[in-house]
Chain A
Amino acid sequence: MNLPAKAVTALALAAALAGCASTNLSPHTGPRLALEEDEKRIWLQSEDGEKRLNLSGLVEQSPELDSYLVGIVRKLFPDIPFEFRIRVMKDAGMNAFALPNGAIYIHTGLLARMENEAQLAALLGHEGIHTVNRHAIKGNRELHSKSAIYAAVTLGGWGGSLFTMASVTGYHRDLEREADAEGFRRMAAAGYDPSEAPKLFRILGAWIEETGVKDPYFFSSHPKVKERIESFESLTASVGGKGIVNRELFLAKTRNVVLETAGLDLKAGRYESALRGADKFLSIAGNDAKGHYIRGETLRQRNGTGDGEQAVEAYLRAISADASYPEPYRALGLIHYKNSEKVEARKYLEKYLILNPGAPDRPYVEGYLRATQ
């Protein structure tokens, strides 16, 4: 729900008045959290927005994943007087944002495309610095660019305004640079391989090129992608050395997010992304029925040259991985049904209904079975 216009105006005015106050604020580090009066209001509003966002149905319910993410951010920020909360949002886009009160949200699309924990640490370092270095209140007080309006508008509601503005508008370019540099230092200090930071931005750059996003959220007011890659490469050169990458652990923790994102990409008809996601999931999970099924569905729906045969192969692999998983039987049944191969169609469709007697599409399947008698 968006804030009524009057409330937005009032907040913007408050932000403008706050602009008279100092922007020379020390980071939230040390044993005690000290918030200024106007900052307290922003935190309260953030907490309200966070509560609503968490109840929206958009946030992944995976305590194991949340706890893994919080563990990383604790390594990056061992010296802060509050707890970060990291949540994953069901969205195939490549985005992440931090609220001023320590809530950080990462889209499944971004997490699914990362390769290891070090890249995740680069992202969390960046987002965490926005909170620790108090960028929201600084932005408000400076009335710099869109930041004050951002804070005023975003903190009132969780819906379009909160996360759209937080992610689309972002913080002022100078604050983004600060988050890049200080986040990078935190990542290196925590022992992560710094050379993974520019790779994260290369992945983001490749996604922008592939999807043709005209106004990519994560970068709309950020320093440009290429510039950031170069900046991270020079930072990497300055610190040198290797460090923790944690590829296997990261992939094990995020593999369900990879499959879920492949499913979202499939719904949206982004077949290439869906196929890459399914392949990545299978490379992590091994011979997994759901992974083979999503791969088969993507190929069948893409319907390019040779896709049909490959789809059938993927469905058969799904059955061989888990003979009790019903979906590939239906898919194979429908392929045979459309090819007027009645006996084969019946075999698979009957099996589907046996395995899934409460199938939501049972009326359709019963119709196909009647038609093949």
Chain B
Amino acid sequence: MRRIPIAVMLVLMAAGCAATPPKPAWVPAEGTFTAPKSGYSLVLPAGWTRVNREEGLMITRDGATLQVIGVNRYKVGTPLQHTKKKCEKGMLPQELAGILVDDLASAVNVASVEVLENAPARIGDVEGFRVVVRLRFKGGSDRKCAFYGAMRGDQVFDVYYTAAARHYFDRDLGVFEEMARSFRFLPPS
């Protein structure tokens, strides 16, 4: 069998790359975003960009280091990322909020968490909570984070917004609130 010269092989490889361009990492965020597997939908603000994936929403306007809005899901009975605590069936929204705050506080890069607001709230027509915290990181940066959360079935959802405490958080809080109001759980399939 004849060996293919390296130069030819490189050209073929380059052509292959050209034929199937890589999927862009970020795409414009607008209209209704539906995550069928995760079981929710919400309306995205115009002028923002979102991470280009079907599930697991994350959007930003000026860059992920400045502000991010997204949705997290936690399985009931499974330890969270930073705390070993678990969300359990029958927990009150206040208890769920406490566990999510403890998870933030237990992150290795977080120096302190100050709860600024914590109150009952509805999300997707389910009784839940709304929390606002100030996060101080060990690296010195100061951020605020607002999140709505609720338990549905065997999952806890949180719609969160995190941004640099100075300037950015207040500027885009209204956008986040509007987005959170548009959050809907999809009917169970």
A contact residues vs B (CB 8 Å cutoff) = 1-2, 52, 56-58, 90, 157-160, 163, 267-270, 301, 303, 334, 337-338, 360-361, 363-364, 367
Contact = CB atoms under 8 A, between A and B. Distances in A.
Contact of A269 (B79, B109, B112, B115): B79
Contact of B119 (A52, A58, A160, A364): A364
B166 interface: no
Interface centre among A58, A90, A334, A363, by most chain B C-beta atoms within 10 angstroms, is: A363
A268 B138 contact: no
Interface residues of B, number: 27
B119 to A, nearest CB: 4
A56 B138 contact: yes
B120 A267 contact: no
Interface centre among B86, B120, B138, by most chain A C-beta atoms within 10 angstroms, is: B138
B53 interface: no
B179 interface: no
B90 A268 contact: no
B118 interface: yes
B92 A267 contact: no
Contacts of B111: 56-58
Interface string B106-146: 10010110010011100000000000000011111100000
A1 B140 CA distance: 6
Contacts of B93: 364
Given A2-B139, A57-B111, A160-B138, A269 B83 contact: yes
B90 A338 contact: yes
B105 A267 contact: yes
Nearest to A164: B138
Contacts of B120: 363-364, 367
B94 interface: yes
Interface string B67-85: 0000000000001001111
Contacts of A301: 85
B106 A338 contact: no
Given A269-B79, A269-B102, A338 B92 contact: yes
A2 B138 CA distance: 10
B139 A1 contact: yes
Nearest to B80: A269
B139 to A, nearest CB: 4
Given A58-B138, A361-B94, A160 B83 contact: no
Contacts of A163: 138
B130 to A, nearest CB: 10
Nearest to A267: B102
Nearest to A270: B84
Contact of A56 (B85, B94, B140): B140
Interface in B158-172: none
Interface centre among B85, B105, B141, by most chain A C-beta atoms within 10 angstroms, is: B85
Contact of B82 (A57, A157, A268): A268
Contacts of A1: 139-141
